[in-house]
Amino acid sequence: MIRPVKSVQWGKEIVKTIEIYPMLGSTNHFARSHIKNGGASGTVLWALNQTEGKGRRGRKWDSDGSSLTFSLIWKCPLGTLPENITLTVGLAVVQILEPYFPDLKVKWPNDFWIGEKKLGGILTETVTIGGERWLILGIGLNVNSSPGAEQSPRISLQEVTGYPWPRLAILDLILQGVELGFHMAKSKMELSPLFKRYGNFIDRQITIYQGGSSFQAQALDVLADGRLLIKDARGERALLPEEITVRFDP
């Protein structure tokens, strides 16, 4: 069994403990075995280095000592998953980080962008273990620059501000966002005005990939159930995050 080098009591409503690991393959993958081995709800698994991280639809997410990669394990009360939790946590994290990084935005449904480059993202998964339903919420963020970063389509907080950031301080801010995001999901806050303020996709021309095809559309809004309202050659319609991938037109 892999053991953390340090465990820190956090004691918040959602986040209770942070366990720090020098290196993990994927924090989300490790989270599954951690739950099976009796891991407590509210535990954050922070990998100082992650070698096999994955994003949405299995995309590879490389990270090293310059990045922040962690997963939260949380047992769903009565087996009920918080509604729109990926969306609300994304919005909440941007709100918390806004005073420090005012250009940070959410790209529906789960990415963080600054300008035209990706800063990080959220990957949520659910597992049922021992008859209990668990949420695994993974977050990856480029905090400081790594070699060759200027040639990458990604961006880091260091590139934006011109100086490096301590990962623990960024983790603290993001976990405040996680707490707020759970509260937003529980209170069923209206998503549309939040995405109009903190999103970077409303009213933009986008390319939507669905199955083996793609088409052009305009992003109009985010509905209460988390679906993206678009307008294309077929008219207005709403699509689920699980159905499509969205990319910005050049």
Q: Cβ distance 104 to 112 under 8 Å?
A: yes
* 170 shares its domain with 95: yes
Give the C-alpha distances (Å, rounded to integers) separating 32 from 27, 47, 140, 142, 246. Answer: 9, 15, 17, 24, 28
137 & 205 share domain: no
Cα-trace Rg, the chain: 18
- Pairwise CA distance, residues 114 & 117, whole Å: 6
Cα separation, 182 vs 149, in Å, equals: 33
Q: In CATH, what number is assigned to the domain containing residue 217?
A: 2.30.30.100
Domains identified in the chain, total number: 2
Per-residue confidence in pLDDT tens, the chain, 250 aa: 788 999 999 999 999 999 999 999 999 999 999 999 999 999 999 999 998 766 555 556 566 789 999 999 999 998 889 999 999 999 999 999 999 999 999 999 999 999 999 999 999 999 999 899 999 999 999 999 865 555 568 899 999 999 999 999 999 999 999 999 999 999 999 999 999 999 999 999 999 999 889 999 999 999 999 999 999 999 999 999 988 999 997 6
pLDDT in tens, 8-28: 999 999 999 999 999 999 999
Whether residues 27 and 85 fall in one domain: yes
Residue numbers of the domain that contains 216: 201-248
Q: Let me know if residue 195 belongs to a domain.
A: no
Angle separating helix axes 85-97 and 167-187, nearest 10 degrees: 130
**Residue 46 shares a structural domain with residue 22:** yes
Question: Cα–Cα distance between 99 and 200 in angstroms, integer?
Answer: 17
Residue whose C-alpha is closest to residue 140's, from 109, 115, 169, 174: 174
Same domain, 80 and 184: yes
Answer yes or no: do 46 and 115 share one domain: yes
Whole-number Å distance between alpha carbons of 208 and 30: 32
Does residue 99 belong to any structural domain of this protein? yes
Residue after which a domain boundary falls, among 141, 158, 190? 190
For residue 200, report the phi and psi dihedrals to the nearest 5 degrees.
-120, 20
Question: Are residues 170 and 213 located together in one domain of the fold?
Answer: no
Instruction: Mark whether 94 and 214 lie in a shared domain.
Output: no
For residues 25 and 128, state if they share a domain: yes
Chain segment 176-215, per-residue pLDDT in tens: 999 999 999 999 999 999 999 999 999 999 999 998 899 9
One domain, residues 97 and 157: yes
Asked if residue 163 and residue 100 are part of one domain, the reply reads yes
Q: Which two tokens stand for residue 68?
A: 């922040």
Residues 6+ apart with CB under 8 A from 43: 16, 17, 18, 19, 34, 72, 73
The residues that bridge with 147 in the sheet, in sequence order, are none
Backbone torsions φ then ψ of 57, nearest 5 degrees: 60, 30
Residue 144 φ/ψ region, left for φ over 0, alpha for ψ in the -120 to 50 degree band, beta for the rest: beta
Let me know whether 82 and 175 are in one domain. yes
Residues 6+ apart with CB under 8 A from 1: 37
